[in-house]
Structure 1
Amino acid sequence: MFFEVEMRRSVMVEPHELGGTLQMQRAMLRRLIKDVEKEVGSDEYGFHVAVTTVNGVSGGKIQSGTGAVVFSVDFNCIVFKLIEDEVVEAEVVSTGQQGFFVSCGPYASMFIHRKEMTGFSFQPGPSPEFNEWRDSGSVIHPKSLVRVRVKAHSIWDPKRKTFNVAGTLNGDLLGVVVDETGKDDED
């Protein structure tokens, strides 16, 4: 789920930020953090959480025409990425006839299809926020906390800045953990 990975980026420092060594280092670090936050995530690493360590900086190259200096920076970054077959706890966001969506950290679009929850049946409510999935002893509705297994992981969508993930409730120890009232499934 959380990993620390090594990354490399080109970082541009504007001419007005050039000065003493300390001023230039601060400007480079600010720009690196801003660029990594703006990127949000990548297919290879998942969601970028935080830059932790700068490991090395190449000698800067002056960009002709602008006077900016471009550095190649090696750094470590904490990332968050779901992996196939990983079991996670997630909050139900919405329910419908085909299944339900859950949110787990920055992953707001994990979908559990009706075929991936054996024994559950759909119970429509008077409006979508009251729709439920029920089995013999559990009820799944918006705000329920469920334990799911990651089944499939899609590639990074840079426009929407997210991944699409499919999950399953089929398996041991998967299903409702807590509903929105805080009642455990075991109560």
Structure 2
Amino acid sequence: MFLIVKNVYRIISIEPQDLGIDLKRKIKRKINQLLIGQCSEEFGYIIDINRYYFDMGEQGDDLEGVVQDTTGDVVFNARFDIIALKPNKNEVLDGKVMSITDNGIEVFSGPIKSFIDKNRLGAEYEYNSTNDQYLSLNPDLPPIKRGTKIRYRIENLKFQNNEFAAISTIQDNYLGVINSH
């Protein structure tokens, strides 16, 4: 699910040579470098920064920062809104089959990796090692092969190594092959 998370706070450190003209732009760039593309259990995959807030000093004309006496870096309290993609249990997603084994298929929905066990594909699908695909006993159902687009539901979700891993199924109404590439 895509979310807009408001008022995210981070401490941003700016090196002395980056102080001066265009400080706001440099703070924005530093926030982007640190966060965009990262994944956390709290927010999910951070897609973009939606809005930046700059808290000004008491006179309202300058950004307030604290100089670090050991490095000379200036530390700012940054506040911003983010756009994130966070998967949820029982969420239905569309994805693309990236790999196939005799144990099941791996589907990617953007950065979200999902494994669908062969038992969760449905009894009508059987693995064909010759063509490296799952063929259906029902001639109306298309084969599942690399590149096939699948609609699936997340059954179990785990966060580890800074990414989400999902166990999913296509055994439900309106789930399964969207097109067969």
TM-score over 0.5 for the pair: yes
Is the 8 Å Cα contact of residues 16 and 72 (structure 2) preserved in structure 1?
yes
1:2-45 C-alpha deviation (Å, 9 max, x unpaired):
1110211111111011124xx2212111111111126x111111
Q: Following the alignment from structure 2 to structure 1, what is the Cα–Cα distance between the partners of residues 137 and 173?
A: 15
Distance 2:102 2:147 in 1: 17
Equivalent residue in structure 2 for 1:96, among 90, 94, 101 = 101
CA RMSD of aligned residues (A): 1.7
Mapping for residues 12-51 of structure 1, pairs under 5 Å? 12-20=13-21, 23-37=22-36, 40-51=38-49
Overall identity of the aligned pairs, in %: 24
How far does residue 125 in structure 1 lie from its aligned partner after superposition?
Answer: 2.8
Please identify which structure carries the higher helix content. Answer: 1
Within 5 A, what are the aligned runs for 1:57-96? 57=55, 59-96=64-101
Give 3-state SS (helix, strand or coil) of 2:36's partner. helix
Distance 1:90 1:104 in 2: 4
Structure 1 residue ranges without an equivalent (≥5) = 181-187
Per the normalisation by structure 1, the TM-score is 0.84
1:33-182 matched pairs, under 5 angstroms? 33-37=32-36, 40-57=38-55, 59-107=64-112, 109-126=113-130, 130-136=132-138, 137-138=140-141, 139-158=143-162, 162-180=163-181
Gaps of 5+ in 2: 57-63
Q: Which residue of 1 aligns with 2:5?
A: 5
Distance 2:91 2:52 in 1: 30
Query: How many residues matched?
Result: 171
